[in-house]
């Protein structure tokens, strides 16, 4: 058989390799020999490098071994989080792919491919990759810029490659370091592995649809961070992957429901009445949020937060319909009743759930179900520490309505 060193890029790209496809191998073209920059445990930038940096003429990047794609991290949105130290979600790694590999002798490791210029369209969360399948094209991306490391730091276009114990951008142990570990330390102690201990030496199990253990709980910390920053599309993508890895991941359904709710709410705020009419008639983000919250409730009927989230979504959908369909009496919008029911259920599960009282107050008021009930719930929420002045327009309207009842 032909040795790997003489294989052409086309052979790697088309998956025609006839040797041991389950063996780890270099993730770049081997002929001519790749240029090697910072290597594993090599000092650089006042730190210790936790991976290897490689560069080739064709710039193609390949899967080091068969596995499953568990993370596709795009550049951060530089409009909001550009630059080092600014909370950029790519943390300087740029366009990044992480693949899960199940080792032949047991256990798992994850290969990371960072600073990519482009990612192949076939590389999506949950996708099974074959040996030497094209991952993308090496670049210099990072901190929201496609050429950050080349233009700002003078580094050549290259692939930053890691093998580690968890599918995260950071170090697996502390979650505080990216691509490097502190000076005078050993990357092994932070959950990294020397890739050269794997190339040509260790093998994986054949990647199948069941490669991910049912016992494994996908890491959703990145998705939570996306939600905190208002990056709902990215959060939905991460959570959808987590659900694909574990179809009974209750928390992922709840969080994705919240992301859909927030995304739908943002859309509503920027729509005309006519646009809203068309949007409500189609499957939209609020419908998807309700479906996810419903699934979360089915998996855990005692989840007060899921009931509360679905209540807010019903309330938003009812308010949107009331604006878009002004000629229909409020009493016709059944989502107000559904919202009240869900908020009530959340309160029954957790009698000190301030946000559920506040949500039910809005449903009573906007659904014309009883202003006095609404005011009582506002006071309960306030007593429990909820910032009731978060929506002054609602409070002012409720107070005016109560005056009219006297």
Tell me, rounded to whole angstroms, the distance of Cα 40 from its chain centroid: 28
Listed in order, strand segments (DSSP E) in 198-237 are none
Q: Under CATH, domain 272-405 is a member of which superfamily?
A: Tetratricopeptide repeat domain (1.25.40.10)
Q: Let me know the angle formed at the C-alpha of 71 by 68 and 75, rounded to the nearest 5 degrees.
A: 145
**Other residues' Cβ atoms within 10 Å of the Cβ of residue 148:** 25
Q: pLDDT tens track of the chain, all 406 residues?
A: 222 333 233 322 333 333 468 999 999 988 788 999 889 999 988 999 999 999 999 899 999 999 999 999 888 765 445 455 555 778 889 999 999 999 998 999 999 999 999 998 889 888 899 888 999 999 999 988 888 888 877 789 999 999 999 998 899 998 889 999 999 999 999 999 999 999 999 999 876 544 443 334 556 777 888 888 888 888 888 888 788 777 888 999 999 999 999 998 988 888 888 888 888 878 889 999 999 999 999 999 999 999 999 999 999 988 888 877 776 665 566 889 999 999 999 999 999 999 999 999 999 988 888 889 999 999 999 999 888 777 788 888 888 887 765 5
Cis omega (within 30 of 0) for bond into 32:
yes
Give the span between the Cα atoms of 15 and 159, in whole angstroms.
Answer: 21
Q: Match 């006297």 to its residue by tokens.
A: 406
Give the span between the Cα atoms of 58 and 3, in whole angstroms.
Answer: 19
30 contacts: CB under 8 Å, gap ≥ 6: 4, 5, 6, 7
DSSP notation for 135-198: EEEEB--BTTBTTHHHHTT-PPSBEEEEEESSSSSS-TTTS--SSEE-TT--GGGGTEE-GGGT
According to the model, what pLDDT value does residue 3 have? Answer: 29
According to the model, what pLDDT value does residue 139 have? Answer: 94
Smallest CA-to-CA distance from 56 within 156, 128, 153, 169 is with 156
- In 3-state terms the chain splits into helix, strand, coil percentages (rounded to 5) of 40, 15, 40
Give the span between the Cα atoms of 133 and 145, in whole angstroms.
Answer: 26
According to the model, what pLDDT value does residue 211 have? Answer: 41
Smallest CA-to-CA distance from 303 within 253, 337, 338, 261 is with 253
According to the model, what pLDDT value does residue 229 have? Answer: 84
According to the model, what pLDDT value does residue 84 have? Answer: 56
Tell me, rounded to whole angstroms, the distance of Cα 239 from its chain centroid: 5
Give the span between the Cα atoms of 198 and 201, in whole angstroms.
Answer: 5
Whether the full predicted model's pTM is greater than 0.85, yes or no, is: no
Give the span between the Cα atoms of 405 and 370, in whole angstroms.
Answer: 11
Give the span between the Cα atoms of 257 and 294, in whole angstroms.
Answer: 9
Q: Coil, strand, or helix at residue 404?
A: helix
Q: Which CATH architecture has domain 4-197?
A: Distorted Sandwich (2.70)
Give the span between the Cα atoms of 333 and 318, in whole angstroms.
Answer: 6
According to the model, what pLDDT value does residue 5 have? Answer: 30
| Contact in structure between 67 and 22 (CB atoms under 8 Å) | no
Domain boundaries defined on the chain? 4-197, 272-405
Smallest CA-to-CA distance from 241 within 263, 262, 219 is with 219
According to the model, what pLDDT value does residue 4 have? Answer: 30
| Contact in structure between 59 and 45 (CB atoms under 8 Å) | no
Smallest CA-to-CA distance from 260 within 219, 294, 218, 302 is with 294
According to the model, what pLDDT value does residue 404 have? Answer: 65
């Amino acid at each position: 058989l032909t040795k790997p060193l003489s294989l052409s890029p086309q052979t790697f790209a088309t998956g025609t390799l006839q040797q041991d496809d389950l063996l780890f191998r270099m993730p770049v073209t081997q002929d001519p020999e790749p240029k090697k920059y910072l290597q594993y445990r090599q000092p650089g930038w006042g730190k210790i490098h936790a991976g290897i940096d490689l560069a080739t003429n064709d710039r193609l990047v390949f899967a080091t071994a068969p596995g499953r794609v568990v993370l596709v991290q795009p550049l951060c949105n530089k409009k909001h989080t550009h630059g080092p130290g600014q909370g950029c979600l790519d943390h300087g790694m740029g366009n990044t792919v992480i693949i899960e590999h199940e080792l032949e002798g047991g256990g798992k490791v994850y290969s990371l491919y960072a600073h990519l210029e482009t990612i192949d369209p076939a590389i999506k969360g949950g996708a099974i990759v074959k040996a030497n399948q094209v991952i993308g094209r090496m670049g210099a991306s990072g901190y929201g810029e496609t050429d950050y490391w080349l233009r700002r730091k003078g580094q050549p276009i290259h692939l930053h490659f890691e093998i580690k114990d968890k599918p995260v951008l950071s170090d697996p142990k502390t979650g505080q370091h990216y691509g490097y570990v502190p000076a005078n330390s050993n990357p092994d102690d932070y959950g990294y592995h020397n890739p050269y201990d794997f190339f040509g030496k260790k093998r994986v199990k054949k990647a199948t649809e069941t490669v991910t253990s049912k016992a494994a709980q996908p890491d959703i910390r990145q998705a939570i961070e996306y939600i905190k920053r208002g990056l709902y599309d990215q959060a939905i993508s991460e959570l959808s992957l987590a659900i694909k890895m574990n179809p009974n991941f209750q928390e992922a359904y709840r969080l994705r429901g919240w992301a859909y709710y927030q995304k739908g709410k943002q859309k509503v705020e920027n729509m005309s009445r006519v646009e809203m009419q068309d949007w409500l008639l189609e499957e939209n983000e609020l419908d998807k949020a309700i479906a996810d919250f419903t699934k979360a409730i089915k998996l855990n009927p005692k989840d007060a937060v899921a009931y509360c989230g679905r209540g807010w979504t019903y309330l938003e959908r009812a308010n949107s319909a009331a604006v878009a369909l002004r000629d229909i009496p409020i009493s016709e919008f059944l989502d107000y009743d559904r919202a009240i029911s869900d908020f009530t259920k959340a309160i029954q599960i957790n009698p000190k759930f301030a946000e559920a009282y506040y949500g039910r107050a809005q449903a009573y008021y906007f659904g014309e179900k009883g202003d006095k009930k609404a005011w009582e719930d506002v006071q309960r929420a306030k007593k429990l520490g909820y910032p009731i002045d978060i929506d002054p327009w609602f409070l002012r309207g409720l107070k005016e309505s109560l005056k009219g009842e006297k």
